[in-house]
Amino acid sequence: MSEDKPHQNLAIIGHVDHGKSTLVGRLLFETGSVPEHVIEQHREEAEEKGKGGFEFAYVMDNLAEERERGVTIDIAHQQFDTDKYYFTIVDCPGHRDFVKNMITGASQADNAVLVVAADDGVAPQTREHVFLARTLGINELIIGVNKMDVVDYSEDTYKEVKEQVSNLLKQVRFKSDDATFIPISAFEGDNIAEDSENTPWYDGPNLVEALNDLPEVEPPTDAPLRLPIQDVYTISGIGTVPVGRVETGVLETGANVSFQPSDVGGEVKTVEMHHEEVPRAEPGDNVGFNVRGIGKDDIRRGDVCGPADDPPKVAETFKAQLVVMQHPSVITAGYTPVFHAHTAQVACTIESIDQKLDPKSGEVAEENPDFIKSGDAAVVTVRPQKPLSIEPSGEIPELGSFAVRDMGQTIAAGKVLEVNER
Ligand code: GDP
């Protein structure tokens, strides 16, 4: 597998049981990305049990079993490549914090595969994930109409599901020209890496071809540096080492940086990636670095590192557009749930609900409504109860979205329209 190819973060989204995990297993298998020793082990097991030639089932069993045991090898963060790209599967719904991760950028995907089971069609999470994909700026959607084997590879059923999904994309105003539809069976391997004989009526690309045809992603290297801090370590011989992922811009040794909202700064002495010192790090790179004069107690998780002359913004209040995904009652002014943005978690008060929006057209439906409830979209004014660094999504989208959590659930998601700085 070559890391020299351009990289893409890919999300696999769709309703529970529509076949996301099976598809990931199948993609890894068909692209030869399951390590040889794992295949070999499965081959031996399969032969012992007299089931030779059934390696795929064993790969899947293994993934499933490891998930049950809570082992780190989950379907998330698996990697595979096509001729052109090197893909990382950033996260997968079903993963407990998927929705939150998707929103807070912990698993920012460039593009997504939406899995829709042919025998079930558009289901509630299909809607929710498509909506999030659109709100959070997923560029392109490939739709795998899955389980075609279950519907006897019926062209009519495929067309029906395609129609349902197209309507959904229109409703949420996802440019539906951007979507590629493919009839697949993750389980049987139809139209994954090879064109299937079971769908002679389909003449579009198979899934691997469609992934290979995705447009290249331009990393946001020209934007100002924004590096949310994930953790802060003390390492003997080096000192204080904040770690995190560069979201935008470039981190270079010798640069003067500022951490906000802690409001401290200094010169970058060293940058490390994969245990090696590097002169610079770019968007997507996970780094540990060391800044002259910064001690372990000066900075914390949730701080954002940026250039000293263009520091991360700290909000006194901010205006945001949000969508209420699920809330048992109604949300009124004064409500103070926890906002998750990049690596920060801060209680924030919804100070006023300024406008209710029509969820379909995005136009203003009501000024100063008394409350909003599940399914509503609104413009609100938010006051963080502790300093929070956040950016307008129009300027730095990577640092401009948030998830609202309460009672252990993601109840709303949104993006920042304006920051009123402290
Ligand atoms: P997820 O919840 O979306 O990750 O769905 P899974 O990948 O766990 O699949 C749910 C169930 O559907 C499992 O029993 C799979 O074996 C089955 N399944 C997935 N894809 C296919 C397919 O293409 N054809 C058939 N017949 N079953 C499938």
Contacts of 63 (CB under 8 A, 6+ apart): 21, 24, 25, 73, 75
Residue 244 confidence (pLDDT): 92
Q: The domain containing residue 279 runs over which residues?
A: 227-307
Which of 191, 213, 235 is at the close of a domain? 213
Confidence band, pLDDT 50/70/90 cuts, at residue 327: confident
* Mean pLDDT, rounded, for 228-247: 91
> Looking at the domain assignment, is residue 232 inside a domain?
yes
Does one domain contain both 251 and 291? yes
* Mean pLDDT, rounded, for 33-44: 71
Report the atom number in ligand 1 closest to the C-alpha of 92: 4
Whole-Å CA distances, 252 to 4, 70, 280, 290: 21, 37, 4, 11
Among residues of the chain, what percentage have pLDDT more than 70?
A: 84
User: Which residues of 23-131 form beta strands (DSSP E)?
Assistant: 79-81, 86-91, 111-117
Contacts of 178 (CB under 8 A, 6+ apart): 139, 140, 141
Does one domain contain both 140 and 283? no
The crossing angle, in degrees rounded to 10, of helices 155-171 and 124-135 is 50
Q: Report whether 154 belongs to an annotated binding site.
A: no
Contact (Cβ atoms closer than 8 angstroms) between residue 321 and residue 357: yes
Q: 54 or 266: whose pLDDT is higher?
A: 266
Provide the Cα torsion 199, 178, 106, 323; round to 10°.
-110
* Mean pLDDT, rounded, for 360-387: 90
Other beta carbons within 10 angstroms of residue 49's beta carbon come to 10
17 CB under 6 A from ligand 1?
Answer: yes
17 CA to middle of ligand 1, Å?
6
Give the three-class secondary structure for 18. Answer: coil
Q: Report whether 342 belongs to an annotated binding site.
A: no
> Looking at the domain assignment, is residue 292 inside a domain?
yes
Number of independent structural domains in the chain: 3
> Looking at the domain assignment, is residue 222 inside a domain?
no
417 CA to middle of ligand 1, Å?
39
119 CB under 6 A from ligand 1?
Answer: no
> Looking at the domain assignment, is residue 221 inside a domain?
no
> Looking at the domain assignment, is residue 268 inside a domain?
yes
> Looking at the domain assignment, is residue 2 inside a domain?
no
Euclidean distance between CA atoms 256 and 293, whole angstroms: 12
Query: Which of 15, 18, 22 for mutating ligand 1's site (highest number of atoms within 8 Å of CB)?
Result: 22
* Mean pLDDT, rounded, for 182-201: 96
Does one domain contain both 243 and 136? no
Which of 274, 307, 340 is at the close of a domain? 307
245 CB under 6 A from ligand 1?
Answer: no
User: Which residues of 51-101 form beta strands (DSSP E)?
Assistant: 79-81, 86-91
Distance of CA 338 to the CA centre of its chain: 20
Does one domain contain both 161 and 238? no
Q: Report whether 71 belongs to an annotated binding site.
A: no
Does one domain contain both 109 and 187? yes
Euclidean distance between CA atoms 268 and 255, whole angstroms: 6
Does one domain contain both 202 and 281? no
Please report, for the domain that includes residue 254, its CATH number. Answer: 2.40.30.10
Other beta carbons within 10 angstroms of residue 369's beta carbon come to 15
Residue 372 confidence (pLDDT): 96
Mean pLDDT of the chain: 86
Q: Which residue matches tokens 């890919």?
A: 10
Does one domain contain both 33 and 112? yes
Report the atom number in ligand 1 closest to the C-alpha of 16: 2
Residue 17 confidence (pLDDT): 87
Which has the closest alpha carbon to 184: 214, 152, 209, 207? 207
Give the three-class secondary structure for 173. Answer: coil
Token code pair at residue 411? 């109840």
- Per residue in 315-325, pLDDT (tens digit) is 999 999 988 87
Other beta carbons within 10 angstroms of residue 359's beta carbon come to 16
* Mean pLDDT, rounded, for 180-194: 95
22 CB under 6 A from ligand 1?
Answer: yes
Does one domain contain both 360 and 413? yes
Report the atom number in ligand 1 closest to the C-alpha of 188: 23
Does one domain contain both 17 and 149? yes
Does one domain contain both 344 and 243? no
Please report, for the domain that includes residue 105, its CATH number. Answer: 3.40.50.300
> Looking at the domain assignment, is residue 120 inside a domain?
yes
Euclidean distance between CA atoms 166 and 151, whole angstroms: 20
> Looking at the domain assignment, is residue 233 inside a domain?
yes
Does one domain contain both 189 and 302? no
Q: Report whether 18 belongs to an annotated binding site.
A: yes
Does one domain contain both 246 and 350? no
Q: Report whether 14 belongs to an annotated binding site.
A: yes
- Per residue in 203-219, pLDDT (tens digit) is 999 999 999 999 988 88
